[in-house]
Structure 1
Amino acid sequence: MSELTIRPMLADELKIAIDWAAREGWNPGLNDAELFYLADPNGFFVGELNGEIVAVGSAVTYDHAYAFCGLYIVAPEHRGKGYGLTLTKHRLAYCGDRNVGIDGVLENVEIYKRIGYVPCYQNKRFQKLANATTRSAQVVEVTKEHIPDILTYDKPCFGATREQFLAAWLLQPQGKSVCFLQNGEIKGYAVRRKCQEGYKVGPLFADSPDIALSLFQALQVDIQGEQIILDVPENNPQAISLAESERMDVVFATMRMYQKTIPATARDKIYGITTFELG
């Protein structure tokens, strides 16, 4: 068996990973390649055999304490040869002593446990056809002026700072971002991005279920009849209740796993995670 060579992924090579993700049925966003790269330009890797890319994966380091691995795919014809494990060990080495998270597919949980990941809770993918017809007057579209306050709001929810990525994520092409204002203060925000099929909402962070619902409905009114998707953490029961009250169906799930412990986040404010790939 040939030896796998691992190197950092070039910016334009991230499109390869996104194309592979589409082939796997992951339904990526139309701008994911460019936007993901902003999260950590050094945190994307390829595994090569004789100059051919056969494996891809990310290891985004957000700060000195937290990292998230994702976008992990081995080309189908090269699976079962140990290349994925080699790439994963390289990514974990890049993360150093940080607490590393993943959203692992359920059938591979036992494999991830063998390399140190601890199962914590499921993230469930809900979807439906958008059907909301009204929008709260307190929900406004995000502008550049809102970004500093949203960054402040985001950190305790996400668990780390992600300024460059989030600033671009909020204002991405063919996307829509909204925030809930109360007496001039942000009490929640949500982002919708266009995907190959329908739209994904993420993150959806809010101070209360009512605010979360207002944000989610505001992201539906202009895309009625289109598929809308929300990835919901089951460790916030109010988030699950929101998705169920919207008559959404569970179509997929991952296991959120960490190398150390669950980060201390404002989990009661998390109604939808950002992405399975970036946490």
Structure 2
Amino acid sequence: MLNLEELKLKKLDKKGLNILVDWAATEGWNPGKYDFEVFWETDPDGFCGFYFEGELIAGGAIISYNNEYGFMGLFIVRPDFRGKGIGEKLWYLRRDLLKGRLLEGAVIGMDGVEAMQPFYEKGGFEIAFRDERYACTGKKYNASQYVSLIDSQDFEMVRVYDLKCFGFDRKTFLKHWLKIPNSNSFKFMEGDELRGYALIRKVEDGFKIGPLFADSDKIAEELYKACLNCAEGQSVFLDIPVTNKGAVSLVEKYNAKYVFECARMYHGKGRKPDMHHVYGVTTFELG
């Protein structure tokens, strides 16, 4: 018999994280086959959950980016254990544990589905804007002369640009994300200056673009076209922050169809990511 009081929060190992990502696939979150590998390398201490009789029954991510910014994602309770108060207990314990991993006053972000937003607000999170997922079909477009594949020698340049766009250094994440199997990453260069970059990867159903960061609407469009070129005839998903009007115009121009939405929510009053250069969110799981 399950006793809620006896459930203790435990750190997940890599196997436990893989189980969470498998659950996410079953729930229709459409992760990539190799996502969990990158998630693990980003922050091996950033995943926790509850076990009952030796089996994982609930878990989630509590990612720390250099103790300066936190992100909560991958929050799942196994279906046969829902409705018992497990999720509520787990969520608050995760929030508090992550706060303890961060510098005082650091912000925690998350992307919350509509049904759960009132619960998250009770836990101290405030809605900042909506993230909407759009899907279109990949096809061939004329490639811009300024767009080319990112190679290993570009890493430091991309890291610096990513810091400008994401707002916090995620060197470890990028080191592995840019090399994730079944993906292509593109840069937009004007002379020696990087003006935008994007990555498209294979997921359970089709492909996902993320991130799509750019200095202008036109640059974002050229990178978007480069990604669509990689997935001819396949579904391609892009998660946009609706506060970026250029991102809204982009999906409208290419007749992408609305799929669903989350709300980006923040806990804390410290520095938050600036979405001005964000035309496509990297992941709902890690920010």
TM over 0.5: yes
Identify the residue that residue 61 of structure 2 maps to in structure 1.
Answer: 58
Alignment-mate amino acid for residue 125 of structure 1: R
Is 2:106 aligned against 1:103?
no
Identify the residue that residue 91 of structure 1 maps to in structure 2.
Answer: 94
Is 2:181 aligned against 1:181?
no
Q: Secondary structure at the match of 2:124?
A: coil
Question: Using the alignment, how far apart are the partners of 1:61 and 1:248 within structure 2?
Answer: 33
Is 2:21 aligned against 1:18?
yes
Sequence identity percentage: 37
**Does the aligned pair in 1 maintain the 2:16–2:56 contact within 8 Å?**
no
Alignment-mate amino acid for residue 133 of structure 1: Y
In the TM superposition, 1:67-146 aligns within 5 A as: 67-96=70-99, 97=104, 98-146=106-154
Alignment-mate amino acid for residue 256 of structure 1: R
Alignment-mate amino acid for residue 8 of structure 1: K
Question: Using the alignment, how far apart are the partners of 2:263 and 2:270 within structure 1?
Answer: 13
In the TM superposition, 1:162-241 aligns within 5 A as: 162-241=170-249
CA RMSD of aligned residues (A): 1.3
Shift of 1:93: 2.0
TM-score normalised per structure 1: 0.97
Moved more, 186-195 or 253-262: 253-262
Task: Give the alignment partner of residue 256 of structure 1, picking from 227, 246, 264.
Answer: 264
Shift of 1:125: 0.1
Structure 1 stretches lacking a partner, 5+ long: none
Which stretches of structure 1, 4 residues or longer, exceed 3 Å deviation after superposition?
261-266
Identify the residue that residue 156 of structure 2 maps to in structure 1.
Answer: 148
Shift of 1:262: 7.8
Question: Using the alignment, how far apart are the partners of 2:96 and 2:107 within structure 1?
Answer: 12
Is 2:161 aligned against 1:158?
no
Question: Using the alignment, how far apart are the partners of 1:242 and 1:68 within structure 2?
Answer: 27
TM-score normalised per structure 2: 0.94
Q: Secondary structure at the match of 1:219?
A: helix
Task: Give the alignment partner of residue 40 of structure 1, picking from 39, 43, 61.
Answer: 43
Deviations 1:30-70 (A, max 9, x none): 11110111221101012112222110100000023210000
